[in-house]
Amino acid sequence: MQPFTIVRGTAAPLPAANVDTDVIMPKQFLKGIDRNGLDRGVFFDLRFLVDGAPNPAFILNQAPWDHASFLITGPNFGCGSSREHAVWGLKQLGIRALIGTSFAGIFYDNCQRNGVLLIQVKESEQQEISHLVGSPENSQITIDLHAQQIHLQTGKMIGFEIDPLRKKALLEGLDAIGTTLEHTSRIRDFETQHHRSNPWLA
Amino acid sequence: MKGPRTLYQKHIDAHTVCTLDDHGHVLLYIDRQVANEYTSPQAFSGLREANRTVWRPSSTLGVVDHVNPTTPDRVATMPDAGGALQVSYFEQNCRDFAIELFDVLDKRQGIEHVVAPEQGFILPGMVVAAGDSHTTTYGALGAFGFGIGTSEIEHLLATQTLVYKRLKTLRVNVHGKMGAGVTSKDIIMALIRDIGASGATGYAIEFSGPTIESLSVEARMTICNMAVEAGARGAFMAPDEKVYAYLKDKPRAPKGAQWEQAVEKWKALYSDPGAHFDKEVELDASALEPMVTWGTSPDQAAPIGECVPDPRLESDLIRRQDLQRALRYMGLEPGTRLAGVPISHAFIGSCTNARIEDLRDVARIVRGRKVAASVRAMIVPGSTLVREQAQAEGLAQIFKDAGFEWRQSGCSMCLAMNDDVLSPGDRCASSTNRNFEGRQGAGARTHLMSPAMVAAAAICGHLTDVRQLSMET
């Protein structure tokens, strides 16, 4: 997993509420057995017109946000289906972090497992960032995960909270399975005991 | 000494391998998972690439459900190359990693959340995680289930555990007797409307109270199933005699002395009196009416007697724009009465509402009636066993006589990953769980409601209060 330390890039505001994973990655892109080619599917019905041409009205088709590294999102972003394809696609499109007021649970975990940083901020902060990055000259921001800070073009800094466990995994790009398998003997012991006291689960 | 605990705490405590930090993270042991062909391939590939094995193959059940066709005659061929590849890779993975698979031709095939309970694969006290958000369904059996993504499936296959952070708890206490024509679908739809599509984000929901106790196990599954549409990362209910009766003699339920031993243990699965919940909500089921959604988020719902809301009355700009966008997508004008909105399609199916009791509800409405000429109406049973039972009970004939397509089992038009897809502008009364933009097909419009309400809409050709239809007979 690619570590996330200090990343500077363009941020695109997407303030709608309840953006679900069906909208982020429609069904026709879910038919693979690998992770390839999902950048095309991201927000497909919003990004592309019926004839397949880019929809000029959609922000991710407009400069400078067509090279966005960050999305500033509305409440409950990523709700609905568990499809991790949504996160794989966002990542392939170049999205490294999302800043919003709230995220759906499964989507949150999926981002974490792919090295995409989710930052939860207050509604007033979300609105401030969203408004600011909506003008091209202020669209660049810097996210410093180590210091837990967002730096805006105006010089303003906004701090954020993150679990130490998640932070460490993102900073170091850890392989979660490898880390868990360090507990192999504890899992074995637990399992033996668990099945002894609940034999119908064995 | 431990103080009073919620059932959620009991589930998590009993499955904690070890604590990982002092911020609530634990290594959580998972008893069971169900795998499907569409969210699992990259997880198996990950195992192969890292030369890892499956920790405990017997804890996983494979079911093909998302991409298979549901044509009235069962065919094993997938309608498209992508689906065919997913199914063949899934078969190969189950074979290579010694996981039991219910393939398309298996008598036990069906939607994973219908199949797993009917096989007795899910039992009270279990913690279950699976690559499908509607894994919350299993709360109705006294288990604790939640959905995970593909990376977590891989982690679970490799370690039988997940790195888990304890959730907050929300108790929804439901009291009051439901009126005629009101179902458990209306309870959960009303709750989602009340608390919002993110009202339970960060929470596990316990459903309790006399109304929940009065419901059948299948009706309870509908409620737990849709808890995720309020953002809940898991739902749970205390198991009771109804759950034990439901499970007894199911193929994988414990037998004989072990059954007695298990039931004794399951009787301790309840929230202790005085246990602390982070939030509590009270719902009066006697005040409910049949619900329908009018928008593109499950919380955009109203009783069938109401009208499409007016976005101009919303003072918050972002919320107003969301409402306007939803109504534009749905092709609905503010102030339109919901009863009377014409439909082109009616779909009865999905892990929310395609069990035998749902089909019996539908049969009660459509018996001796005909589907409106303007409507294409489909019934996709939740499992192949449900299909067989409905045929044995004579329900299938009632459906066919009324003009419904009687199809094979699968997820089908709930998410339209197979060839059951709506066209732009189609409007569907649907017994499913999500009315998202494009969910049932790009540009297609979904109205969620109970199976009985879908049946009524199919007969009348427009959204209808099922209670009026019932009274006519």
Partner A contacted by B34 (CB < 8 A) = no
Does the distance separating the beta carbons of A109 and B160 come in below 8 Å?
no
Least Cα separation, residue B225 to chain A (angstroms): 12
Question: Thinking of the domain B7-279, which architecture would CATH place it in?
Answer: 2-Layer Sandwich (3.30)
Does the distance separating the beta carbons of B438 and A82 come in below 8 Å?
no
β-strands B144-147, B161-165 pairing: unpaired
Helical H segments across B160-271, by residue range = 184-195, 210-214, 217-225, 241-247, 256-266
CB-nearest partner of A110 from B31, B151, B253: B151
Look at residue A143 in the predicted model and tell me its pLDDT: 98
Q: Three-state SS for B41?
A: helix
Q: Three-state SS for B440?
A: coil
Strand partners, B102: B63
The answer to whether the beta carbons of residues B469 and B180 sit under 8 Å apart is: no
Partner A contacted by B220 (CB < 8 A) = no
CB-nearest partner of A200 from B20, B56, B254: B254
In chain A, what are the domain boundaries? 6-162, 175-202
Q: Which tokens sit at B62?
A: 């494979």
Partner B contacted by A75 (CB < 8 A) = yes
B173-202 pLDDT tens trace: 999 999 999 999 999 999 999 999 999 999
Task: Specify the CATH number of the domain B337-472.
Answer: 3.30.499.10
Does the distance separating the beta carbons of A198 and B262 come in below 8 Å?
yes
Residues of B in contact with A114 (CB under 8 A): 151
Q: Mutate which of B159, B250, B316, B323 to test chain A, going by most A C-beta atoms within 10 A?
A: B159
Q: Mutate which of A14, A27, A123, A197 to test chain B, going by most B C-beta atoms within 10 A?
A: A27
Which among B207, B203, B223 is positioned nearest to B353, based on CA atoms? B223
Look at residue A32 in the predicted model and tell me its pLDDT: 95
Does the distance separating the beta carbons of A180 and B155 come in below 8 Å?
yes
Cis peptide before B251 (omega within 30 of 0): no
> Chain A residue closest to B32 (CA)?
A201
Binding residues of B for [4Fe-4S] cluster: 351, 411, 414
What is d(CA B459, CA B372) in angstroms, rounded to the nearest whole number? 5
Partner B contacted by A128 (CB < 8 A) = no
Q: How far is CA B142 from CA A101, B219, B461, in A?
A: 33, 14, 39
Instruction: State the amino acid at position B263 in one-letter form.
Output: V
Which among B345, B353, B402 is positioned nearest to B378, based on CA atoms? B345
CB-nearest partner of A106 from B126, B133, B158: B133
H helices, E strands: number in chain B: 16, 19
The answer to whether the beta carbons of residues A129 and A154 sit under 8 Å apart is: no
Least Cα separation, residue B86 to chain A (angstroms): 6
Q: Three-state SS for A34?
A: coil
Does the distance separating the beta carbons of A20 and B434 come in below 8 Å?
yes
DSSP element (H, E) containing B376: strand B376-379
What is d(CA A112, CA A109) in angstroms, rounded to the nearest whole number? 5
A134-161 pLDDT tens trace: 999 999 999 999 999 999 999 999 999 9
Binding residues of B: 351, 411, 414
The answer to whether the beta carbons of residues B207 and B224 sit under 8 Å apart is: yes
What is d(CA B258, CA B242) in angstroms, rounded to the nearest whole number? 19
The answer to whether the beta carbons of residues B463 and B292 sit under 8 Å apart is: yes
DSSP element (H, E) containing B16: strand B16-19
Q: Which tokens sit at B178?
A: 């439901």
Under 8 Å CB pairs connecting chains A and B tally to 184
Protein fold of A6-162: Aconitase; domain 4 (3.20.19)
Residues of A in contact with B198 (CB under 8 A): 18, 75-76, 79, 102, 104
**Location of each CATH 3.30.499.10 domain in chain B:** 7-279, 337-472
Q: Which tokens sit at B71?
A: 């044509």
Least Cα separation, residue B361 to chain A (angstroms): 27
Cα dihedral across residues B118, B121, B125, B130: positive or negative: negative
Confidence of residue A175 (pLDDT cuts 50, 70, 90): confident
A15-70 pLDDT tens trace: 999 999 999 999 999 999 999 999 999 999 999 999 999 999 999 999 999 999 99
Residues of A in contact with B41 (CB under 8 A): 32-34
DSSP A113-130: HTT-EEEE--HHHHHHHH
What is d(CA A164, CA A162) in angstroms, rounded to the nearest whole number? 6
Interior angle at CA B286, CA B284 and CA B287, nearest 5: 75
Look at residue B471 in the predicted model and tell me its pLDDT: 57
Cα dihedral across residues B127, B131, B135, B138: positive or negative: negative
Q: Which tokens sit at B85?
A: 């590849």
Q: Describe chain B by its helix, strand, coil percentages, rounded to 5.
A: 40, 20, 45
Computed on alpha carbons and rounded to an integer, the radius of gyration of chain B in Å comes to 22
Partner A contacted by B257 (CB < 8 A) = no
Helical H segments across A79-198, by residue range = 85-92, 105-113, 123-133, 164-172, 176-181, 184-197
Does the distance separating the beta carbons of B20 and A165 come in below 8 Å?
yes
Phi/psi region, residue B436 (left: phi>0; alpha: psi -120 to 50; beta: rest), is beta
What is d(CA B217, CA B141) in angstroms, rounded to the nearest whole number? 7
Does the distance separating the beta carbons of B258 and A113 come in below 8 Å?
no
Residues of B in contact with A102 (CB under 8 A): 198, 201
B100-111 pLDDT tens trace: 999 999 999 999
What is d(CA A103, CA A77) in angstroms, rounded to the nearest whole number? 5
B-contacting residues in A 131-160 (Cβ below 8 Å) = none
DSSP B91-155: HHHHHHTT-EEE-TT-TT-B-HHHHHHHTT-S-TT-EEEESSGGGGGGGGGT-EEEE--HHHHHH
Look at residue B2 in the predicted model and tell me its pLDDT: 74
pTM over 0.95: yes
Partner B contacted by A31 (CB < 8 A) = yes
Partner A contacted by B163 (CB < 8 A) = yes
Non-local (6+) Cβ contacts of B76 within 8 A are B103, B104, B105
What is d(CA B113, CA B78) in angstroms, rounded to the nearest whole number? 21
DSSP element (H, E) containing A90: helix A85-92
What is d(CA B423, CA B428) in angstroms, rounded to the nearest whole number? 10
Regions in chain B scoring below 70 on pLDDT: 1, 470-473
Residues of B in contact with A51 (CB under 8 A): none
DSSP element (H, E) containing B430: strand B427-430
Instruction: Report which DSSP code applies to B178.
Output: P
Does the distance separating the beta carbons of B198 and A18 come in below 8 Å?
yes
Question: A85-92 and A105-113 are packed helices; what angle lies between their axes, rounded to 10 degrees?
Answer: 50
Instruction: Report which DSSP code applies to A188.
Output: H
Look at residue B76 in the predicted model and tell me its pLDDT: 87
Look at residue B472 in the predicted model and tell me its pLDDT: 53
Which among B276, B399, B310 is positioned nearest to B348, based on CA atoms? B399
Least Cα separation, residue A92 to chain B (angstroms): 16
The answer to whether the beta carbons of residues B289 and B185 sit under 8 Å apart is: no
What is d(CA B49, CA B47) in angstroms, rounded to the nearest whole number? 6
What is d(CA B345, CA B461) in angstroms, rounded to the nearest whole number? 9
Residues of A in contact with B163 (CB under 8 A): 165, 176, 180
> Chain A residue closest to B204 (CA)?
A105
Which among B294, B288, B319, B330 is positioned nearest to B309, based on CA atoms? B294
Q: How far is CA B269 from CA B81, B124, B309, in A?
A: 46, 8, 42
What is d(CA B105, CA B102) in angstroms, rounded to the nearest whole number? 8
What is d(CA B431, CA B452) in angstroms, rounded to the nearest whole number? 9
Q: Mutate which of B30, B32, B38 to test chain A, going by most A C-beta atoms within 10 A?
A: B38
Least Cα separation, residue B467 to chain A (angstroms): 31
Does the distance separating the beta carbons of B318 and A74 come in below 8 Å?
yes
Look at residue B115 in the predicted model and tell me its pLDDT: 98
What is d(CA B308, CA A185) in angstroms, rounded to the nearest whole number? 58
Instruction: State the amino acid at position A196 in one-letter form.
Output: R
Interior angle at CA A19, CA A14 and CA A22, nearest 5: 130
β-strands B279-284, B291-293 pairing: unpaired
